[in-house]
Amino acid sequence: MKSVFRLLALLCLSVLSVSAADRRIIIIAGKPSHPPGMHEFRAGSLLLQKCLAGTPGVSVEVYSNGWPSKVVGTLTVDDNSVFDGAAAVLIYADGGGGHPAIQRDHLKLLDGLAAKGVGLGFAHYGVEVPAGDPGAAMHRWIGGYYENAFSVNPMWSPKYEKFPEHPVTRGVKPFSNRDEWYFNMRWVEDPAAKAKITPILVATPSDEVRKGPYVYPAGPYPHIVAASGREETLMWTFERPDGGRGFGFTGGHTHKNWGNDSQRKLLLNALLWIAKAEVPANGVESMVSNEDLQQNLDDKGKR
């Protein structure tokens, strides 16, 4: 009888160990850029990983310095095998023409992952891609993107005072911090797809913010100024027709802002949500100290 109980206990432990890793979240942290304390993709990603450590039903892997790679002989090549069995992928990296998602065959690979229901998330500069095929891909994946000279990137302090009822907002309290919060995204035009976008962070820029200067180009842009008084969406979720999920988060320029409990909780909740893991009733609880924020920063010298 004891042997039977022992066998059952081992089976239970085996099931638990499998279920604890059945939703793999992959975070691609971009290469170092900007002065110290800004675009700390590696440090921010490792912080999110640490905050999700021990969360039932998920595991988080961080790949630093851009797209996962491996050495084959004398060559460094993409290691796309890391995406096998992934439930979600977050890209927190520099975007534009150098965006990791649009290099080589990466767009095709991400389309394939999306077709399997894999969740896709993009943070800060990672929501910006060139118009055309890259923009169309972002419309498929998350419903919107930052388009150069159409969207804007001022440094400002939006006040987030209300949130929709959504798993991503569980436990989030009103907050405000100064960051490079993008707005005026280029949204998908198809009404059916647009209806699947849920604004998560919404704020109204002042006329002073609309008139700039923007971080780059300085602006102002007439179409941004003309929209005086309009609410803007700075984080959103998207439910894809294929059943997958996605989100875009425009903050994350300033590393110290990950010390804000509500900002951090939004990203942690969103990662669970796009991975189709259960988001706790009060959101993902985590604690981050000033010492934590100083860990894993890129060596940027005197930049």
CATH code, 72: 3.40.50.880
Report pLDDT for 301: 72
Tokens of 196: 């699947």
Does a structural domain hold residue 99? yes
Does a structural domain hold residue 1? no
pTM of the model: 0.92
CA distance readout (Å), 273 to 7, 162, 238, 278, 284: 35, 20, 11, 7, 11
| DSSP codes joined into one string, 132-171 | THHHHHHHHHHSEEB-TTTSB--EE--EE----SSGGGTT
Report pLDDT for 7: 42
- pLDDT mean across residues, the chain: 93
pLDDT at 2 over 60: no
Does a structural domain hold residue 8? no
pLDDT at 145 over 90: yes
Residue range(s) defining the domain that contains residue 255:
21-293
Does a structural domain hold residue 12? no
Does a structural domain hold residue 246? yes
| Residues 119/125/131/134 CA torsion (nearest 10 deg) | -40
Beta strand pairing call for 245-249 and 186-187? unpaired
Span of 15-29, 158-172, 221-235 with lowest mean pLDDT: 15-29
pLDDT at 270 over 80: yes
As beta bridge partners, residue 52 has none
Does a structural domain hold residue 199? yes
Whole-angstrom distance, CA of residue 268 vs CA of residue 48: 7
Q: pLDDT-based confidence at 302, cuts 50/70/90?
A: low
Does a structural domain hold residue 13? no
Report pLDDT digits (tens) over 198-221.
999 999 999 999 999 999 999 999
What total number of domains does the chain contain? 1
Q: Between residues 280 and 71, which one has the greater pLDDT? A: 280
Does a structural domain hold residue 258? yes
